[in-house]
Chains A and B, each alone.
Chain A
Amino acid sequence: MLKENISLTQLEALLLNFLLGSAIVIGIGTDAKNDAWIAILIATLIGGGTILFYWFLMNRLPGKTLYELLEFCFGRKFAILLSHGYIVYFLYNSGRVIRDFGELMASALMPNTPIEIISLTICFVIGYILYLGLEVLARTSEIFTPYLFGFIFLLTIFLLVSGQIEMTRLLPVLGEGFKPILKSLFPGLLTFPFGELIVFTVIFLNVTDTKKGQKASLIGVGVASFLLIFSSILMIVTLGVDGILRSNFPLLSTAREVAIGNFIERIDAIVVFIMMLGILVKGSVFLYGALKGLEYIYKKPFRYFSIPFAMLVAFYSVLISVNFADHLQEGLKLVPYFLHLPFQFGIPAVMLVILLWKQRKGKKNKTGWNYGSNQKAKKNPGT
């Protein structure tokens, strides 16, 4: 099995679409009301820090995935257990992301089409993409990213022209002070979408140029945050805070406001494209993370797992919650505390401590742990 390579631009495209993914569908930072954009701005800094943290972690043992790091820290038996946890976590997240999209389609676009079919079809696509490998996924997102920018630009122009924008809706800035912002930062913005970057620890080693990879991923996070802030401002100035709080899919509601001269209207499709691309990439990346874990545990190429586990994701994307309120409440109240925080920050932090400690010990004793040569000797990580 050959090592798959992705270029820096592809990594950026993946990061961009991943971060936009479901965040742009359901809107983030809404706790901060009309200061949501400030909250996202602050979260961007944290997001940048988060990804640097993950890079730092991965750079301790270059050329290894998260799972092999786990093995190094905890030993194989315990690592399998933790890996299984990560696999379930990634699959669960993938299911949530796809459920977001299914809800969007079912409640806003095709109410007569069962959500099961929507989930199933998109999971087939994801399964097929991953069957072909990470490179295909990376290229897909690279190809579609320019369209994403184009469509966001178009949406902005249309909104400006149709005169729905009222900048005064941003006022008063920081009316309630920093409290609501902090409230929306923790754990909301911290874990979603920025903390979810943990899944990229499986992908980092596929980047051709690891040295520039850090910079590239920072750029990716930066651009994605810029778009998130931009869309957040766009939503506030068109819908108003109250409008955002009352809509399930704020960006979609925003697009519905566009009406130019009885000619350009009903441009929901643009927004759905943006969302669909993000969801496709985000769902795939999560699934890929899980597949790599399976590859690590069962020592079989991850491709074999792709279709069956895509089906599993489709199944659970529907079963995750009974209704939309259930879905949202789970996402706001349970998932951040019980899944996001431990898996995104808890385990990695413990891992980092153990890693640093072990490496220091290794250096002191000058025993056989020479990581550099170890990495060179083992060119195909994974299998």
Chain B
Amino acid sequence: MITLSYFLTFSSLWVLTALFDSALYHYSIWEGLKYLLFNEISMDMVYLISGLLIGLAFCIVTDIRLYRNKKKGNQAKGNKN
């Protein structure tokens, strides 16, 4: 669930930023989406992407843990969360 929300929010923000950029620079939204992620020349994007990946890893780990807890909880019929 958290991973899903992560991707969903990521893409929403992507669209929003691309919309604003396309309004300012007068190009179409598709170009905006493309430029935003693939035409960025900054070399230090590596740091950000690694940050994103860390976030993603967090999401996945939490999701797996929640899933396991849920399973365990169901088995023991206790309450979780």
- The answer to whether A and B touch in the complex, with CB atoms under 8 Å apart, is yes
A: residues with CB less than 8 A from B are 1, 84, 87-88, 91-92, 95, 114-117, 119-120, 123, 294, 297-298, 300-301, 304-305, 307-312, 314-316, 318-322, 326, 329-330, 333-335, 338, 383
Q: How far is the CB of B38 from chain A (nearest CB, A)?
A: 12
List, sorted by A's number, 10 A–B pairs whose CB atoms are closer than 8 Å: A84-B9, A116-B45, A300-B81, A305-B5, A307-B58, A308-B56, A308-B59, A311-B58, A312-B9, A316-B17
Do A120 and B51 have beta carbons less than 8 Å apart?
Answer: yes
On chain B, the residues within 8 Å of A92 by CB distance are 13, 16-17
Taken together as a complex, chains A and B put the C-alpha atoms of A305 and B2 apart, in Å, by 7
B: residues with CB less than 8 A from A are 1-2, 5-6, 8-10, 12-13, 16-17, 20-21, 23-24, 36-37, 40, 42, 44-45, 47-49, 51-52, 54-56, 58-59, 62, 66, 81
Closest chain B residue to A308, Cβ basis: B55
Closest chain A residue to B46, Cβ basis: A116
Q: How far is the CB of A290 from chain B (nearest CB, A)?
A: 8
Closest chain A residue to B53, Cβ basis: A311
On chain A, the residues within 8 Å of B13 by CB distance are 88, 91-92, 95, 312, 316
Partner of B66, one of A300, A307, A316, A383: A300
Do A120 and B47 have beta carbons less than 8 Å apart?
Answer: yes
Q: Which of B13, B42, B44 has the most CB of A within 10 A?
A: B13
Closest chain A residue to B4, Cβ basis: A298
A-B contact count (CB 8 A): 104
Q: How far is the CB of A337 from chain B (nearest CB, A)?
A: 11
On chain A, the residues within 8 Å of B6 by CB distance are 308-309, 312
Closest chain B residue to A124, Cβ basis: B51
Partner of B9, one of A87, A304, A321: A87
Taken together as a complex, chains A and B put the C-alpha atoms of A163 and B60 apart, in Å, by 58
Partner of B1, one of A300, A316, A320: A300
On chain B, the residues within 8 Å of A320 by CB distance are 17, 20
Taken together as a complex, chains A and B put the C-alpha atoms of A315 and B9 apart, in Å, by 12
Do A311 and B16 have beta carbons less than 8 Å apart?
Answer: no
On chain B, the residues within 8 Å of A383 by CB distance are 81
On chain A, the residues within 8 Å of B45 by CB distance are 116, 318
Closest chain A residue to B49, Cβ basis: A315
Taken together as a complex, chains A and B put the C-alpha atoms of A1 and B80 apart, in Å, by 11
Closest chain A residue to B63, Cβ basis: A304
Taken together as a complex, chains A and B put the C-alpha atoms of A28 and B23 apart, in Å, by 24
Closest chain A residue to B54, Cβ basis: A311
